[in-house]
């Protein structure tokens, strides 16, 4: 199967044809995919070199002239390195952009920690007004990229990853989707975590919500799900554990509830290997997820005993 990143350049190249406002800003990474588009639109496919502060700043300048910039590099160099540009050049200047990242939390484990960005969504959570899409399949990535570019002058982050579910689901760029209904807890599976969550909760009496747009957080969907399934909530996110715990707590502020936030741990592993190795190391493999979810919710043997969080 191709990856979300394989879809990025073809989709955005088509958008360059369809919408004269669209401009692509790159910092070397991903440039080969845009070679043809750059020949056709030399003024709207811009590679600034390995200069990430300029990458975001130039995107903001394009937006100030009325363009719709699509700004791309690895997540660590798109959100973390030029974070002040994201905060000021986009947010404070009150302009929009579509930031599209690759490499996610540990898409290239052998590349080590310098190319891992499990904190990207948490960092964006310190800022106002960001829409965050976390597709779980290349088809969903394609749909969400189109939503992102079409979203007026909004600030939108699209997080692409090699992690993927086997099958795509319909996504609307806004709401969570109910994938399974139960009576003893709600599990929110974000993007590429869905397949592991479905396998891990097989036979557990839980509702599974599928989230591909995590900001704004679909509080209505979570509240609605808890009416039948109760207010034990487990979040399974492919980035920093607990990133959406506050959002879930806020959604349920007026009812007693419990939230368990699962995801990538803070500790630097200093390990290479494979994506599967890292999922296991962070407790995001199917077996460990089943232990942790079953121990917290689902009416299974774990009952009400909270497991290590």
Partner 1 sequence: MTTTTTEHSRPYTHGDLPRLMGLMTGDEKHGPAATSTLDVLWVLYNRVLRVGPERMDDPERDRFLLSKGHGPMAYYAVLAAKGFVPVEWLPDFGSYDSPLGHHPDRVLVPGAEIGSGSLGHGLPIAVGTALGLRAQGRTAPRVWVLVGDAELDEGSNHEAIAFAGPAGLDRLHTVVVDNSSAGHARPGGIAARFEAAGWSAVTVDGRDHAALYAAFTAPHPGRPRAVVARVEPKSA
- The smaller minimum CB distance to partner 1, of residues 43 and 254, is found at 43
Give yes or no for residue 62 binding partner 1 (CB under 8 A).
Answer: yes
Name the segment binding partner 1 (CB under 8 A); options: 91-99, 174-182, 185-193, 291-299. Answer: 91-99
- For residue 21, the 8-state DSSP code is T
- Cα–Cα distance measured from residue 222 to residue 220, given in angstroms and rounded to the nearest whole number: 5
Give yes or no for residue 99 binding partner 1 (CB under 8 A).
Answer: no
Give yes or no for residue 216 binding partner 1 (CB under 8 A).
Answer: no
- Cα–Cα distance measured from residue 42 to residue 249, given in angstroms and rounded to the nearest whole number: 47
Please write down the long-range contacts of 43-50, taking CB distance under 8 Å and 24 or more positions apart: 44/16, 45/16
Side-chain half-sphere exposure of 173, counting CA atoms within 13 A: 17
- The smaller minimum CB distance to partner 1, of residues 48 and 214, is found at 48
Give yes or no for residue 89 binding partner 1 (CB under 8 A).
Answer: yes
What is the nearest approach in angstroms of partner 1 to the Cβ of residue 100?
17
- Cα–Cα distance measured from residue 54 to residue 6, given in angstroms and rounded to the nearest whole number: 25
Q: Give the C-alpha distances (Å, rounded to integers) separating 303 from 215, 278, 289, 292.
A: 31, 28, 15, 11
Per-residue contact string for residues 104-143; x = within reach of partner 1 by CB under 8 A: ----------------------------------------
What is the nearest approach in angstroms of partner 1 to the Cβ of residue 62?
4
- The smaller minimum CB distance to partner 1, of residues 64 and 110, is found at 64
The two structure tokens encoding residue 106: 């540990």
The two structure tokens encoding residue 112: 């080590």
Name the segment binding partner 1 (CB under 8 A); options: 82-90, 124-132, 183-191, 200-208. Answer: 82-90
> Which helix H or strand E contains 215, and what residues bound it?
strand 213-215
- Cα–Cα distance measured from residue 235 to residue 6, given in angstroms and rounded to the nearest whole number: 28
Whether the Cβ atoms of residue 280 and residue 190 lie closer than 8 Å to each other? no
Phi, psi of 241 (to 5 degrees): -55, 135
Give yes or no for residue 18 binding partner 1 (CB under 8 A).
Answer: no
> Is 175 exposed, middle or buried, given 0-12, 13-18 or 19+ CB atoms closer than 10 A?
middle
Name the segment binding partner 1 (CB under 8 A); options: 86-94, 211-219, 221-229, 262-270. Answer: 86-94
Give yes or no for residue 17 binding partner 1 (CB under 8 A).
Answer: no
Give yes or no for residue 69 binding partner 1 (CB under 8 A).
Answer: yes
What is the nearest approach in angstroms of partner 1 to the Cβ of residue 88?
6
Strands (E), 75-126: 97-102
Q: Which of residues 33-52 bind partner 1 (CB under 8 A)?
A: 43-44, 46, 48-49, 51
Using left for φ > 0, alpha for ψ between -120 and 50, and beta otherwise, residue 32 falls in alpha
Give yes or no for residue 12 binding partner 1 (CB under 8 A).
Answer: no
- The smaller minimum CB distance to partner 1, of residues 35 and 64, is found at 64
Name the segment binding partner 1 (CB under 8 A); options: 55-63, 111-119, 178-186, 189-197. Answer: 55-63
Tell me which residue has tokens 């189109």: 146
What is the nearest approach in angstroms of partner 1 to the Cβ of residue 97?
10
Binding site for partner 1 (CB under 8 A): 20, 23, 25, 43-44, 46, 48-49, 51, 53-54, 56-67, 69, 84-85, 88-89, 92-94
């Amino acid at each position: 199967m191709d990856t979300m990143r394989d879809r990025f350049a073809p989709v955005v190249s088509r958008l360059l044809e369809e919408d004269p406002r669209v401009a692509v800003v790159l910092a070397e990474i991903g440039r080969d995919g845009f070679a043809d588009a750059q020949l056709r639109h030399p003024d709207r496919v811009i590679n600034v070199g390995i200069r990430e502060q300029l990458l975001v700043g130039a995107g903001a300048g394009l937006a100030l002239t009325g363009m719709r910039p699509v700004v791309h590099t690895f997540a660590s160099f798109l959100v973390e390195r030029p974070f002040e540009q994201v905060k000021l050049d986009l947010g404070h200047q009150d302009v929009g952009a579509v930031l599209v990242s690759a490499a996610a939390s540990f898409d290239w484990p052998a590349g080590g920690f310098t190319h891992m960005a499990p904190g990207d969504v948490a960092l964006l959570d310190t800022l106002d007004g960001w829409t965050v899409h976390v597709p779980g399949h290349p088809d969903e990535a394609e749909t969400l990229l189109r939503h992102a570019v079409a979203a007026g002058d909004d600030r939108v982050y699209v997080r692409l990853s090699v992690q993927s579910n086997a099958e795509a689901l319909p996504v609307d760029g806004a709401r969570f989707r109910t994938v399974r209904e139960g009576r003893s807890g709600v599990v929110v599976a974000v993007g590429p975590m869905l397949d592991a969550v479905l396998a891990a909760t097989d036979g557990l009496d839980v509702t599974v919500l599928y989230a591909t747009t995590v900001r704004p957080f679909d509080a209505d969907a979570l509240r609605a799900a808890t009416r039948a399934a109760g207010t034990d909530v487990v979040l399974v996110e492919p980035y920093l554990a607990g990133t959406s715990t506050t959002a879930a707590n806020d959604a349920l502020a007026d009812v007693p509830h419990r939230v368990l936030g699962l995801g990538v741990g803070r500790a630097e592993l200093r390990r290479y290997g494979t994506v599967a190795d890292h999922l296991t190391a962070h407790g995001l493999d199917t077996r460990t997820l089943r232990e942790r979810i079953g121990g917290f919710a689902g009416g299974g043997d774990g009952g009400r005993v909270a497991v290590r969080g």
